Amino acid sequence: MKTMAMRTMGVALAAAALCGPAANAQPKPEARSAMLQKLVDCRKLTDESARLACYDQATVALDQAEAKGDIVVVDREQARKVRRQAFGFSVPSITLFERGESKEELENTTGVVAVARINGAGKWVIKLEDGAVWTQVDANELFRDPKPGMPVKIRQASMGSFLMTVDNTRAFRARRTE
């Protein structure tokens, strides 16, 4: 019985960030999946055998829903990875991946230059090692050409714009293009 309770607690902890297949509905950031709530509600039962049966039923349903893709379980590191990959894009429904994160972490990111080139408009296009592509949008001249391997810092500026610093040089405005 202890093993089942420990496994159930593991499922409950792993299911902390659930999202259902809501058809175009945007859940509140504090909303809980009904399946997770059923699992949590099992704790309220005082009879041990009823509580165990409740946990068994809820974990089987949760496991089946996850296997079918009706529920997605995301741990904190996976959520951070999604937020980093989406940094710079306007994605209003990403709040699911922001739970428990500090505001500072959401306003900046770092990376490493993979490829840098000048486009037809004379602006720098910088692809980072993580695949993100940023394009310069201001007329600032860079003191040093970006090269592969150089560190990059990107921070959110005013009115939804972003400032990029390559290898600790002067920042320039950029926008995420890919």
Q: So what's the pLDDT on residue 81?
A: 75
pLDDT along the chain (178 residues), means of 10: 43 39 42 84 92 92 86 79 67 52 63 91 90 87 88 84 87 85
Structure tokens given for 110 = 């770092």
pLDDT value at position 18? 37
Measured CA to CA in angstroms, residue 167 lies from 41, 118, 141, 176 at distances of 52, 17, 14, 19
Longest dimension (CA), the chain: 72
Rounded Cα distance between 110 and 160, Å, is 18
* Domain range annotation of the chain: 2-73, 102-176
